[in-house]
Amino acid sequence: MRIAACIAVVLTAFGLVAAYPVFAQDRDDETGGLHARLARLLHHQKGVDRARCLEQQLGLSEEQKKAIADILAARAGGFRQQIDGWLDAREAQIAAVHAPAFDEAAVRDASRAVARLEEELAVEAARLVHEVGATLTPEQRAKVAEHHPCLLERIREHLPLIRERVSDWIERHGGGQ
């Protein structure tokens, strides 16, 4: 994995877990399922471009790039397995929500499984962020911190779209309620 893509993963790790429901909506067979959809999201050119821009802004030395690559390589397998497990749990949760018959216990069980895995992903992301952060100078860490609001903003920019879709549906099909 190139260093630019690695930095993009580190910078989006926290936001990704929170934003996933937005990207999982409107799933159909053409998307290739949740795994393929998330893979496209992670490798989206804008994310790579942002990481390259940040890499340039940080002015990472070759030693820092190598240290970050080593950290990411050491954690990549476990992190991928955790993400795959989380995606499987999300698929089970979505299936429970959309089951032919309402089963509250099944929805709650599936939701708890997702929450447990999201907790583990958040801990792993925090470990990764702190390990990578230890390779940076205080000035570089300050520059990275400037990007934190951007991550949350990208998540928040999708919420009005969801609300708009719901309002539009009610307006079109609610019979003036």
60-64, 109-113, 141-145 — most confident range: 109-113
pLDDT for the residue 73: 86
Q: How far is CA 16 from CA 7, 23, 152, in A?
A: 14, 10, 10
pLDDT for the residue 38: 54
Q: Is the pLDDT at 107 greater than 50, yes or no?
A: yes
Locate the domains of the chain by residue range: 3-151
Predicted TM-score of the model (pTM): 0.61
